Amino acid sequence: MDIPEAGDRDALVAAVDQLPFIVILFEGPELLTVGANAATRAVLPGREVIGRPCREVLGDLAGQQFLDVFHEVYRTGETVAGRQWRVHLDQPDGSVHEIFVTFTIMPWRAADGSLRGVIGAAFDVTEMARNRQAAEAETAQLRRRYERSRDVITELQRELLPPGLPVLPGLQVAASYLLADADTAAGGDWFDAVARPDGRVALVVGDVVGHGITASGVMGQLRAVLQERLDSGATPAEALTAADRFAGRMRTAHATTVCLADLDPGNGEVTYCTAGHPPPLVVRADGSTRFLPATGAGPLGTGSAFFVRQDRLEPGDLLLLYSDGILERPLAGSFPGPAGALSAAAPGAVTAAGELARVAADAAAGRALHDPSSTAAERVCAQTIELLVRAGGHADDITLLAAQRVAAVPELALDLPADPAALRGARTRLASWLHTVGAGEHDVFALQHALGELATNAIEHSSSTTPICVRAVLTPSGRVEATVTDHGGWRTPERQPIRGRGLALTGQLVESLRVEPGAHGTVATVRHPLSRPARLLASFDDAPVAAPDIPDMVLAELPGGNEARVTVSGPVDATTAQRLMPELLRRSRGGTVSMTIDLTGVTHLASAGVSALYQIGERHHEQKAALTLVASPGSPSRQILDLVGLPVTP
């Protein structure tokens, strides 16, 4: 072929620089960057590119598989392509920019056919990907899949799998369950985390042979057998022996595989058994990984003895249990091109277990997708699935269960002045402490309300001006034990507040409530188990949306014709409820005008607010005017209104 003159080469370089898509060239075994057009430089602002190796130029993509693709193409000489991959790029100001790209990475050959380097070309298809996600949410196909997934997961899997994972001192636990790509039926995978009476936790991942209702039913029964034995203090071997007896009586449970690990969060001691199941993976605090040795035990119902082994986790180490669905899938690291996947025997070929270890380590260290609000265990369970299945899909259900040793959170100690205005700051500090120990939003909601009611009660009725003491600790069994203590005798408040339902509401919100009056004060004690939900997925597209932060109660009037219409947002507590009642009466002309109150935006509804709504309702009833309360299902106000029996729409 003709070699372009120097002027033609300059024109060609200028033309490539103007291309409206990403083009980058790497040369030699080190993949040194020798060219990057304007579109590439635009998505890599502030980076020194030319003359630097690929691993430095694109270092923030180390945990997102792209560096592996470039080196794999150079090693094999085969082109690789990907469609709408999600990418997180570090920005000079410290932020993270998310884009979606459709790309082709191809070998760059010299005139004599020898391999010179690698060429990467990519289109920024972020808008297309966002539009696709929005469009899919409206399609009948997605609705049908949602209905099938709801039938399978919500009505079956959510009943058979644990409703939540225990929150324990010194340990962070997370789990993900991804439905098979085929979307035909639930599988027999399951996970469990059982808080033991002695402060240890039993971690279980199992896999019943087959799919469908039968496999799911067997899974539920085996899970119940193991949980009952573990709750009773059985050793791992004793619990598996009981499950083995059950499998021997039920043909459909034959050859079920189980990995059971008994972990002491205090000293890191692990006793485990791999009954025909892949062995656990340990991701060390320093980022290195190791698979624990298999114990040699066979599947349930096969006549095997259940041998156990011991190991130890150091502080910061993470233990990952998984089902074989994460291994039995096309290798993302082999990146099949036109000639198909790489042979597993090829030099440098990626193994499924090695790929799992590498991606899990990247996710644990935060080197993969940017999600600083998640724990390392949550990132491992969520991101490992996404990164490993997005290239080639998955034919089987995938279950991941992770537990990381962390420092135990000290107990909460608050000394509050005998002033209702101090309660809002106390709620904030309590919520912060609960989030730090790992409580889910439902438990934060329940304990904020319960302890808020008890503290309000103590402030209003204690005859002492000494501070109200609030203490909370997470026990080894995974329960918050909290006390609210005052130091004076009982008194009737000078001004009767709009209250009277606080203790009844508290008793409905928590597992147990005990009030012990004494000569020198009253101690109210609540106990409540903490749990975090696991991720039960049909896909990994959905992202959580943060709730808005509303610092104070806001009441706004809306156009309403012949009736008053208002919205209330923010906290309605013992302080703001005093303002709420007269404001509502003013807008409804003393209850003579029908009124609709939208409480969906209320972030905290204390018993004082409930009492105010009752009294507003009674005033409207006396005046023969209608009062309608509106609160969206699942909102904090709706949960409280349902508990106290106030009628609400929708």
Q: Quote the mean pLDDT of the chain.
A: 85
**Mean pLDDT in residue range 58-84:** 90
Is residue 479 pLDDT above 90, yes or no? yes
* Three-state secondary structure call for residue 222: helix
pLDDT per residue as tens digits for the range 597-624: 999 999 889 888 888 898 889 889 898 9
Neighbouring residues of 302: CB distance < 8 A, sequence distance ≥ 6: 254, 255, 276
CATH topology of domain 148-405: Phosphatase 2c; domain 1 (3.60.40)
The answer to whether the beta carbons of residues 595 and 628 sit under 8 Å apart is: yes
* Architecture of the domain spanning 548-644: 2-Layer Sandwich (3.30)
Q: Report the alpha-carbon distance of residue 393 to residue 278 in Å, rounded.
A: 20
pLDDT of residue 590: 86
Specify whether the backbone of 238 is left (phi greater than 0), alpha (psi in -120 to 50) or beta. Answer: alpha
Summarize pLDDT for 526-569 with one digit per residue, the tens.
999 999 888 876 555 444 434 444 467 898 888 877 889 999 99
Q: How many CB atoms lie within 10 A of CB 557?
A: 12
Answer whether 389's CB lies under 8 Å from 359's CB. no
Return the pLDDT at 602.
92
Per-residue pLDDT, averaged over 430-442, amounts to 93
**Both tokens assigned to 222:** 């085996």
Query: How many whole angstroms separate alpha carbon 344 and alpha carbon 334?
Result: 9
pLDDT of residue 333 exceeding 80, the answer is: no
Q: Which pLDDT tens digit goes with each residue over 179-226? A: 765 544 556 789 999 998 888 999 999 998 877 677 778 888 999 999
- Asked whether the beta carbons of 416 and 467 are under 8 A apart, the reply is yes
pLDDT digits (tens, 9 = 90+) for 139-171: 655 555 555 554 554 455 556 778 789 999 999
Asked if omega into 647 is within 30° of 0 (cis), the reply is: no
Q: Quick one: pLDDT at residue 65?
A: 83
Q: Please give the full DSSP string across 330-350, using - where no structure is assigned.
A: --TTT--BTTBSPPTTSTTPP
Helix (H, G, I), strand (E, B) or coil at 168: strand
Bridge-partner residues for 614, per DSSP? none
Q: How many residues does the chain have?
A: 650
Superfamily classification of domain 412-532: Histidine kinase-like ATPase, C-terminal domain (3.30.565.10)
Q: What mean pLDDT is predicted for residues 80-89?
A: 90
Q: Which residues lie across from 474 on neighbouring strands? A: 480
The continuous run of DSSP H or E covering 66 comes out as helix 66-76
Residue 460 has pLDDT above 60, yes or no: yes
Q: How confident is the model at residue 575 (pLDDT cuts 50, 70, 90)?
A: confident
> Residue 257 above 60 pLDDT?
yes
- Residues 173 and 166: beta-carbon distance below 8 Å: yes
Return the closest-CA partner of residue 536 out of 400, 393, 441. 400
Residue 338 in this model has a pLDDT that exceeds 50: no
Query: Which of these, 491, 475, 572, lies nearest to 525 by C-alpha position?
Result: 475
- Which token pair is 436? 């730090």
Residue burial 449-479, b: 16+ Cβ < 10 Å; e: rest: bbbbbbbbbbbbbbeeeebbbbbbbbebbbb
> Pick the residue with more confidence: 263 or 331?
263
Q: pLDDT value at position 607?
A: 86
State mean pLDDT over 470-487. Answer: 94
Give me the CATH code for the 6-131 domain, please.
Answer: 3.30.450.20
Angle between helices 352-365 and 376-389 (to 10 degrees): 140
Helix locations, 285-412, DSSP H:
352-365, 376-389
Say if residue 6's pLDDT is above 80: no
Residue 50 above 70 pLDDT?
A: yes
Report whether 132 contacts 118 (CB < 8 A): no
Is the Cβ–Cβ distance between 505 and 610 less than 8 Å?
Answer: yes
Q: Which residues contact 542 (CB under 8 A, 6 or more apart)?
A: none
Segments making up each domain of the chain, as ranges: 6-131, 148-405, 412-532, 548-644
- Euclidean distance between CA atoms 261 and 251, whole angstroms: 26
Burial 609-625, CB ≥16 within 10 A → b, else e? bbbbbeebbebbeebeb
Note the pLDDT of residue 182: 52
Kind plus residue range of the DSSP H or E element containing 91: none
Q: 372: which residues sit within 8 A by CB, 6+ positions away?
A: 366
Q: What are phi and psi of 279, to 5 degrees?
A: -75, 155
The CA-atom distances, in angstroms, between 462 and each of 452, 543, 606 are 15, 46, 19
The whole-number pLDDT of residue 350 equals 58
Query: How distant, in Å, are the alpha carbons of 263, 426, 524, 637, 641 from that of 569?
Result: 44, 19, 30, 10, 15
For 94-103, 291-300, 309-318, 459-468, which range has the lowest pLDDT when averaged over its residues? Answer: 459-468
